[in-house]
């Protein structure tokens, strides 16, 4: 099916990433305020809010742009031919801009400075390995469902995976370079120090590449054009 016009898709990608990061950061701020001193409960609140909103965003915006909201998803989609390669860079740009604006919005909604650069260092081999695993799992879920012809499961499956990955990875599963960059702009529960970003991004890219290799071994053929995220459900207007 012919993709929708690029400006419409870019608006969907930017808006979706903005709302995703606003949810991650905002729910982290709310959790720290509502459950002071209880980090486990704060993480649970943060994870559930993120999973719920992610489900809604993918289900709503997927028919427009594919609901990537993630540069590694976009990159792999373009690599496999599901997204025109010329569209990959614009997608990534609006995702990063949307992520940064989402963090700013969350800060403002809770009466904080629009930008407060995070001092929360997240570094070390355990966290980097966690990001490899988190991103590997995310791409395995998305690509596996697409290539198995079960794209309608993606909103629920991705949301469920992210909620679970918050808990089984030491890094709390960022699994997204744009979200990682956006979270540097909020010195709150969900923040990450700018110096920690390169290690996370490298790990995320590695996890995505490994997942793609494994998926191509498990599902070597696909009956339709590969599209990472969910198939376009509406006719082009």
- Give the pLDDT confidence of 134-150 residue by residue, as tens digits: 999 999 999 999 999 99
Residue 130 lies in a domain: yes
* Boundaries of domain holding 47: 6-218
Any residues with CB less than 8 A from the CB of 38 and at least 6 apart, and which? Answer: none
**How does 190-226 read in b/e, with b if 16+ C-beta sit within 10 Å?**
bbbbeebbebbbebbbbbbbbbbeebeeebeebeeeb
Q: How many angstroms from the chain centroid is the CA of residue 234? A: 23
Number of domains within the chain:
1
- Rounded to the nearest 5 degrees, what angle is found at the Cα of 115, between the Cα atoms of 114 and 121? 145
Q: Is residue 230 part of a domain?
A: no
In a domain, 95, yes or no: yes
CATH number, residue 142: 1.20.1080.10
Per the DSSP assignment, residues forming a β-bridge with 186 are: 116
Q: Is residue 25 domain-resident?
A: yes
Q: What is the pLDDT of residues 34-74, one digit of tens each?
A: 999 999 999 999 999 999 999 999 999 999 999 999 999 99
Give the pLDDT confidence score for residue 57 in this predicted structure: 98
Is residue 163 assigned to a domain? yes
Domain assignment present for residue 74? The answer is yes
pLDDT for the residue 14: 98
Distance CA 208, CA 139 (A): 6
Written as six digits, the tokens of 21 are: 């990061």
Task: Report yes or no on 224 lying in a domain.
Answer: no
Residue 223 included in any domain = no
Give the phi and the psi of residue 186 in degrees, each rounded to 5: -135, 115
């Amino acid at each position: 099916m012919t993709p929708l016009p690029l400006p419409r898709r870019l608006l969907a990608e930017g808006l979706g990433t903005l709302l995703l990061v606003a949810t991650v950061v905002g729910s982290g701020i709310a959790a720290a305020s509502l459950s002071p001193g209880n980090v486990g409960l704060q993480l649970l609140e943060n994870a559930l809010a993120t999973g719920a909103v992610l489900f809604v965003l993918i289900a709503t915006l997927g028919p427009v742009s594919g609901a990537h909201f993630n540069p590694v998803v976009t990159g792999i989609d373009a690599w496999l031919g599901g997204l025109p390669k010329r569209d990959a860079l614009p997608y990534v740009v609006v995702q990063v801009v949307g992520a940064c604006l989402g963090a700013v919005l969350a800060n403002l909604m809770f009466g904080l400075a629009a930008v407060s650069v995070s001092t929360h260092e997240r570094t070390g081999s355990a966290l980097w390995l966690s990001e490899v695993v988190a991103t590997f799992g995310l791409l395995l879920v998305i690509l596996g469902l697409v290539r198995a012809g079960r794209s309608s499961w993606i909103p629920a499956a991705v949301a469920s995976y992210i909620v679970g990955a918050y808990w089984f990875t030491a890094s709390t599963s960022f699994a997204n370079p744009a979200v990682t960059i956006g979270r540097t702009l909020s010195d709150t529960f969900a923040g990450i120090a700018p110096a920690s970003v390169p290690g996370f991004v490298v790990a995320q890219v590695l996890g995505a590449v490994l997942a793609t290799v494994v998926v191509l071994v498990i599902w070597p053929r696909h009956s339709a054009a590969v599209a990472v995220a969910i198939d376009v459900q509406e006719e082009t207007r």
